[in-house]
Structure 1
Amino acid sequence: MLGNFSFGDYFKKEAIVWAWELTTKEFGLPPERLWISVFEDDDEAFSLWHGEVGVPKERIKRMGEDDNFWTSGVTGPCGPCSEIYYDFHPERGYSGANLDDDSRFIEFYNLVFMQYNKKEDGSLEPLKQKNIDTGMGLERMARILQKVPNNYETDLIFPIIEKAANLAKNSYAKADNVTKTNLKIIGDHMRAVVYLISDGVFPSNIGRGYVVRRLIRRVVRIGRLLGIKGNGQGDVEGAFLPVLAETVIELSTHIDPDLKSRMTHILDELRREELRFVQTLERGEKLLDQFLSNALSNEGENGNRPCLSGKDVFLLYDTYGFPIEITAEVAEERGVSIDMEGFDIEMENQRRQSQAAHNVVKLSVGNELELAKSVPDTEFLGYNTLSASAIVKGLLVNGDPATHVSEGSDVEIMLNRTPFYAESGGQIGDNGYLYCIGSENKKQKTIVEIKDVQKSLGNIFIHKGTIKEGTLEVGLEVDAAVNAKLRQRAKVHHTATHLLQAALKSVIGKETSQAGSLVAFDRLRFDFNFHRPLSEHEIMEIEVLINQWISNATQLQTKVMPLSDAKQAGAIAMFGEKYGEQVRVVEVPGVSMELCGGTHVSNTSEIRGFKIISEQGIASGIRRIEAVAGEAFIEYVTARDNHMRHLCSMLKVKAEDVTGRVENILEELRMARNEVSSLRNRIAVLKASIIANKAFVIGSSNVRVVVESMDDLDADALKSAAEYLVDSFNDPAAVVLGSCPGDGKVSLVAAFSPGVVGMGIQAGKFIGGIAKLCGGGGGGKPNFAQAGGRKPENMLDALEKARADLIKALTENVS
């Protein structure tokens, strides 16, 4: 959107005259093709367009409030609008012309005349300073000037569409409407995701990252639907999104040079995301094949055409990202219809659940909104002091307002001022106490333990605590005291998160950005965008860098400044976070500068030390580091040292020799386990040689069969016994063995010789049915299979069934 503004300078006449001059002289649009809309009561604008500019009355349309009156909200600045439309078909004349006819008109320029203030009762009062806010659609103007039928075919987007069509071995000009629409979606979405990734929004399963992921997956799905295979450069397994992204970046070179500098990072991210999703799609294709087979197998049950259920179609769509169009196309090829009505029901259920999740309100709004009308915003004093006197302005017990609360009760307290930090920016709320020692009029002492502090309804601090002694009343003056030791721990950890983000950008790349954080008293947690686990070397490098900054004893600088100045200075802001006109900037000179309202140390030396205790993935593209600093760092290192001392004492070695000693123990343990396993297998073979005598022959099939229990052999030993028996018998032979190795488990194994398999009896299918009696399952190859269960009391019954089923199968096969 292109815009220009005036705040108390020029107004309606100048805005209208200059807009006409820009469109007709600078852009060269034919005046006879331009139509105007004005607010129905705005006679002044109508007069200016007709009398001052010269637009015929027939081409000026009065429109209602929904179309031509702009408001900023329920109350606030507002005013009438005037819009300029371009006429693609002037030959249709004036009679019956409707500006809402998209096939003829397009609105490309909007002038908002902010001349009123809307009050709570809905009435309008004139503003002392009248303002202008105008906007012109860049893509719409490009469409008009380039004489193309829609925005997508302008030189801003069409090269991306054309590239996608080439990859699909298609021609946009010759394509049908459905294909053209799909190509337009690819062009639009690709431009969006390239810019989002460039700005640090990575594909993930949460928040804004999920939006990027959905856009990418839609492009991949549509690409497959159009027949795009590979990258168009001979690699049919390659990703095609990076090829399209190169076109997006090339188009943007003169607009946003930073895009090209981040090109490698953008292409790598798109390649990873596409290839990962293709694997998901392939799993979906296998599941679709299974669903279709099930539908076809039920074809004759009711005489109707086989149909894929709405639940199955939705599962493919929602879980596997499988396009409905592809599902319908593949199903049609197999002669199966799809239950679209059932799919729509499932989709609507998901929408309702999603909407319900968005409608969850954190606080009991009713009573608190009423209370908030009489409770002012809380003045926060905690940057400069940890104790202060304050007046109790409101009390809540179980969400209901109260005037006084007695000893032993949990209570939520609102004060006019407080040194307590309320949870925000990842930093948890302070702990501490409220005191009232008493006076001549009030002899009783009051003590309230504060366990948490939250913000509610804007900037009201809710102190959550328990009354340990006395009574708390609205209007009472109390002394508020923050737990200084816990506050220091929070300050240390919060400053350490700033150092951690700076270290991550230095070690793994400046493109990484914060995706969330927790600043607690005992640790810090930092989530960041990255596509792979950090290596041991990278973790060590990050720790060394942060501890070096700590030892430099750098004095922090905290300033409050305009948001624009902070961004210009290079301060890092959390993407998606809302900031006011004035922001607090916390700087570690030479290391980090961030917008942050949290509490911090004065000097990095207060952090004392920093240690990463874990690094793991929490979602696709999102990693999490947990670390300790300050007092928590000392406690962690001390505990680890104690563990090492104890280990050294147990192993009777020095600390530097522990690793070698443990490696030797593990190797000895591995060898011992191998030896035990070998002995167990030898015992199993010996037992098998004994039960070989129990083999019996099935009639004329001449198949030697053994079905026996082998007590408590484990699964590996049972396998060795079965293999020994089959090998020792002449082909054909069938062996089924069972055991109960303990822990309430059952092990079953089936081994069939080639001759038995050749009769159509497969071990994998056979053993699965037997295992069901033992509350389990299993499978394997035609000649060998294993299974398990958790009902050892049923094992003998299962073996009896195996014996009966084998006799029946072999007898029927021979006959």
Structure 2
Amino acid sequence: MSTSKPGLKKSVTTGAGIRQAFLKFYEDKGHAILPSASLVPEDPTVLLTIAGMLPFKPIFLGQRKSPVPRATTSQKCIRTNDIENVGRTARHHTFFEMLGNFSFGDYFKEQAVAWAWELSTKVFKLNPKNLIVSVFREDDDAFAIWRDQVGVPVKRIIRMDEADNFWTSGPTGPCGPCSEIYYDFHPELGDDNIDLEDDTRFIEFYNLVFMQYNRDADGNLTPLAAQNIDTGMGLERMAQILQKKPNNYETDLIFPIIQTAAEIAGVDYFAIDDSAQISLKVIGDHVRSVAHMISDGITASNVGRGYILRRLIRRVVRHGRLLGIEGAFINKVAESAISLCESAYPDLRERESVIKSELEREEAQFLKTLERGEKLLAEILERKPKQISGDEAFKLYDTFGFPLELTQEIAEENGLTVDVDGFETAMAAQRERAKSAHETIDLLAQGSLSQLGIDSTNFLGYTDVTSQSTVKAILANGATVDTAEAGTEVQLVLDKTPFYAESGGQIGDQGYLAGDNLVVRIEDVQKDNNLFIHIGRVERGNLSVGDSVSAQIDRACRRRSQANHSATHLLQAALKKLVDGTISQAGSLVSFDRLRFDFNCPRALTSDEVQQVEAQVNTWIAEAHGAQVEVMPIADAKDKGATAMFGEKYGDEVRVVDFPGVSMELCGGTHVGNTAEIGVFKIIAEAGIAAGVRRIEAVAGPAVLEYLNVRDQIVKDLSDRFKAKPEELVDRITNLQGELKTTQKTVDGLKSELALLKSDQLLGKAEPVGNFQVLVANMGEVDADSLKTAAERLLQKLGDGAVVLGSIPAEGKVSLVAAFSKPVMDKGLKAGKFIGGIAKMTGGGGGGRPNFAQAGGRDASKLPEALNAAKEQLQSALE
């Protein structure tokens, strides 16, 4: 977050105004405004930044000296421990902002209490009659300050036990009592028998921690020499109070995101049932979370914080489907979140393309498997089991990408539980069966590195292409073994190796290990921390732990990969020089036969730009720039202008690959010694892969000749087929495309005419229901566009009424459409929600506007049943 002083003053009741007022208040009290820390914390004991004090934990623990005596922040936080309550309660969130003021051995209780009260009553203008405070049961000092100096009535100062009002950093270390301020929504109920756990009446919005003791191993408390203050005010909670909303979700911090999701779903937030509201709240909350997480460099994966990101994205997708949203939609909601938050967190807009690229990729990946998984889960639920078995839950996880938590969540909604122990058993069995080359972690699953006696692999490959190495560990058939015979697929660890392990986009080396009557073909090398896992097959002889082997990489493959890797560096430099200096890498692949470079760019490159970039790279290749590789402190590398990849974690020492005057990057890959070794460079494709992210695919060196030979053969084949010379092919194909387009227009016109003729014949089948005309019909094989036209035409002719049409335009596919007149909508019927429910009967879904909506399904056999249900529901609602 920006640390600059606020500009235009905002209303103190808006979310932005509350944030601004809090920071300004404490700045006036001598506090330095510090920016929000990243959601990726320095503290290795936690995955995500979960509290405003976390960035200051080393200071509170005495491990680091504070640069300032007083500080104030608005810290973005992520917590997922209560994820099942998100959307169900008034104020549970995964993402929230914690406003805080901190004292590092400077002021203490009196000032903290006085300022908290002044801020609450003078700045935020809360009526003292609505405020109640709590203190630790033994903290007589805090009790006296609230009573005597602030003037809070004794009955409204509640003593609480250690579980509620005593902060600790762990079993030992700094700790201290807390004092909290609560807002009372119903002071008219009086001060007798106050229960602060009653969240329908009270909301805790400000927590003051007085860090005054050190706890030793025996539990004894001794006063700290330097006493600290750590406070936290929930921004969303204060917004709820000041904006007089029934929950945090309806404040201006979240509700605009919810409204965007509601518009996509074709629903009115205030007119839908509780379950649909919960889905909208989950989407609003989670999209805020994932946008900030990706902005801070987190990418989706199956481990750690990457898994949390993936889980949140998948929950958004699923709740979108519960609302009847079909297809991709997250980026539309994410745009609303970015727009809402960018004034306080400008990095969201700066990283917009990366955020949307990651969301688009994850959403698309999940949608591919979600439908099949939902179908299987629906079949399981139809059997009405007492419990979803562990094997079924594992199949959903392993085959369809359903996280266990998602299966548990759906099961709970249907009154069921999941056999978690059975799931874990199935997971363990799968690990034992796994033989995939990429499951190198199985080698370590048998025991820790210390148990295997391996600290790391000594990589020699920057300078050597061979080495004499010792085999330290072997994995075969999912278990560690001492010996592997010919024909066995193996994963093995050497004490030292010339083989490059896949990293930074560059694939692992290939080659051989040789010994006495022994040959092991190495097909890939992966890295697990500092351990290189060699993956291959014993071709001859027996391989044993302790064997001395000659490790030899495939030099031809290495030359190709390092040429392609160096070419990506030149490519990035050319893009920055010729297209946009702000272009940055978003991903890459360096293989033996090709290279791929993804980069952040808001527009497509013109054909001229592509040619210019290609020409520039080839110019640098021809100029024979020598490579200079040096390991240096990261600060020195940045001072020299070396390019780093955003989100990549670098150590104190970094490797810099420099082609002077052309490119300088932080890189651990292998490279040519001189650009002339690349030979030649050819771009074969440039395209968008996500919003704001482009991809260039190219070949270099010998691969260019192979590429051209293939293209030449294709041209020859086309010339033979079309009886045309190569230079005539473009005109010949253009003419054929024109003829095809004309024919297709004729066919589409005939289809539309046929659909209108069919629709006219249906008019007589409309039935009066109350004051309305209702028509529900099956139009056979009519396509979706024609079905839409027919429904609009029929409703226009019928007047006040409702039209629901279905068709089967393709094998097994179902198309549905609903068109409602305004008087029908006035009866409470919304076309989007209505047709979405009908579509579910055919294994699909959909939605749209209240007056018109379309949907689709996958089970054509269910169409008659679905149309009958639509007719019955309309008759029931309109009679």
Match 2:287 to one of 314, 319, 323: 319
Whole-Å separation in 2 of the counterparts to 1:796 and 1:761: 22
CA deviation vs aligned residue, 1:312-365 (integer Å, no higher than 9, x gap): 655432324699xx9xxxxxxxxxxxxxxxxxxx9xxxxxxxxxxxxx989627
- Name whichever of 526-535 and 780-789 sits farther off: 780-789
CA deviation vs aligned residue, 1:246-286 (integer Å, no higher than 9, x gap): xxxxxxxxxxxxxxxxxxxxxxxxxxxxxxxx999633245
Whole-Å separation in 1 of the counterparts to 2:596 and 2:544: 38
Query: Identity, % of aligned pairs?
Result: 41
Match 1:600 to one of 671, 679, 692: 671
Instruction: Output the amino acid matched with 1:593.
Output: M
| CA spacing shift, 1:475–1:696, aligned 2, 3 Å | closer
Whole-Å separation in 2 of the counterparts to 1:368 and 1:281: 48
Q: How does 1:87-106 map to 2 (within 5 A)?
A: none
| CA spacing shift, 1:377–1:665, aligned 2, 3 Å | same
| CA spacing shift, 1:557–1:763, aligned 2, 3 Å | closer
Gaps of 5+ in 2: 40-47, 49-54, 56-73, 79-94, 100-122, 125-251, 290-335, 341-408, 410-439
Q: How does 1:256-655 map to 2 (within 5 A)?
A: 282-285=256-259, 315-320=283-288, 364=444, 367=447, 369-370=449-450, 373=453, 380-395=459-474, 397=476, 402-436=481-515, 438=516, 445-455=517-527, 458=530, 461-558=532-629, 571-572=642-643, 577-578=649-650, 585-615=656-686, 623-655=694-726
Does residue 673 of the first structure (1) align with residue 752 of the second (2)? no
Instruction: Output the amino acid matched with 2:285.
Output: Y
| CA spacing shift, 1:690–1:404, aligned 2, 3 Å | closer
Instruction: Output the amino acid matched with 1:741.
Output: P
Does residue 745 of the first structure (1) align with residue 813 of the second (2)? yes
Instruction: Output the amino acid matched with 1:431.
Output: Q
Measure how far apart 1:768 and its partner are: 6.3
| CA spacing shift, 1:530–1:793, aligned 2, 3 Å | closer
Does residue 714 of the first structure (1) align with residue 556 of the second (2)? no
Match of 1:108 in 2: none
Higher Rg: 1
Kept after mapping to 2: 8 A contact 1:427/1:494:
yes
Measure how far apart 1:501 and its partner are: 2.3
What secondary structure does 1:464 align onto? strand
Instruction: Output the amino acid matched with 1:369.
Output: L
Instruction: Output the amino acid matched with 1:316.
Output: G
Kept after mapping to 2: 8 A contact 1:190/1:216:
no
Whole-Å separation in 1 of the counterparts to 2:444 and 2:533: 13
| CA spacing shift, 1:371–1:523, aligned 2, 3 Å | farther
CA deviation vs aligned residue, 1:659-713 (integer Å, no higher than 9, x gap): 4443333332222222112223333444455566x45775997x87766544433
| CA spacing shift, 1:168–1:554, aligned 2, 3 Å | same
What secondary structure does 1:319 align onto? helix
| CA spacing shift, 1:282–1:184, aligned 2, 3 Å | farther
CA deviation vs aligned residue, 1:407-461 (integer Å, no higher than 9, x gap): 333444444543323334443321111112x4xxxxxx11111223345564x54
Match of 2:5 in 1: 161
Instruction: Output the amino acid matched with 1:602.
Output: G
Q: TM-score, normalised by structure 1?
A: 0.52
Gaps of 5+ in 1: 1-151, 197-204, 206-210, 228-277, 299-305, 327-345, 347-359, 439-444
Instruction: Output the amino acid matched with 1:433.
Output: Y
Kept after mapping to 2: 8 A contact 1:161/1:184:
no
CA deviation vs aligned residue, 1:158-208 (integer Å, no higher than 9, x gap): xx3342xx3416799xx9999324777999999759999xxxxxxxx9xxx
Kept after mapping to 2: 8 A contact 1:403/1:473:
yes
Whole-Å separation in 2 of the counterparts to 1:491 and 1:731: 71
Measure how far apart 1:572 and its partner are: 4.4
Whole-Å separation in 2 of the counterparts to 1:792 and 1:760: 29
| CA spacing shift, 1:179–1:544, aligned 2, 3 Å | same
Instruction: Output the amino acid matched with 2:450.
Output: E
RMSD: 5.6
Whole-Å separation in 2 of the counterparts to 1:736 and 1:367: 62
Whole-Å separation in 2 of the counterparts to 1:593 and 1:524: 19
Q: How does 1:754-769 map to 2 (within 5 A)?
A: none
Match of 1:663 in 2: 734
Kept after mapping to 2: 8 A contact 1:559/1:586:
yes
Whole-Å separation in 2 of the counterparts to 1:320 and 1:676: 47
| CA spacing shift, 1:739–1:219, aligned 2, 3 Å | closer
| CA spacing shift, 1:295–1:559, aligned 2, 3 Å | closer
Whole-Å separation in 2 of the counterparts to 1:712 and 1:320: 43
Match of 1:59 in 2: none
Measure how far apart 1:579 and its partner are: 5.0
Measure how far apart 1:491 and its partner are: 1.4
| CA spacing shift, 1:743–1:185, aligned 2, 3 Å | farther
Match of 1:105 in 2: none
Whole-Å separation in 2 of the counterparts to 1:540 and 1:372: 53
Kept after mapping to 1: 8 A contact 2:267/2:832:
no
Instruction: Output the amino acid matched with 1:284.
Output: I
Higher relative contact order (CA 8 A, sep 6+): 2
Q: How does 1:797-808 map to 2 (within 5 A)?
A: none
Whole-Å separation in 2 of the counterparts to 1:593 and 1:425: 15
| CA spacing shift, 1:433–1:706, aligned 2, 3 Å | closer
What secondary structure does 2:523 align onto? strand
Kept after mapping to 2: 8 A contact 1:367/1:399:
no
Kept after mapping to 2: 8 A contact 1:288/1:316:
no
Measure how far apart 1:551 and its partner are: 2.7
Measure how far apart 1:545 and its partner are: 0.9
Whole-Å separation in 1 of the counterparts to 2:781 and 2:810: 7
| CA spacing shift, 1:641–1:184, aligned 2, 3 Å | farther
Measure how far apart 1:589 and its partner are: 3.7
What secondary structure does 2:5 align onto? helix
What secondary structure does 1:741 align onto? coil
| CA spacing shift, 1:597–1:778, aligned 2, 3 Å | closer
| CA spacing shift, 1:168–1:307, aligned 2, 3 Å | farther
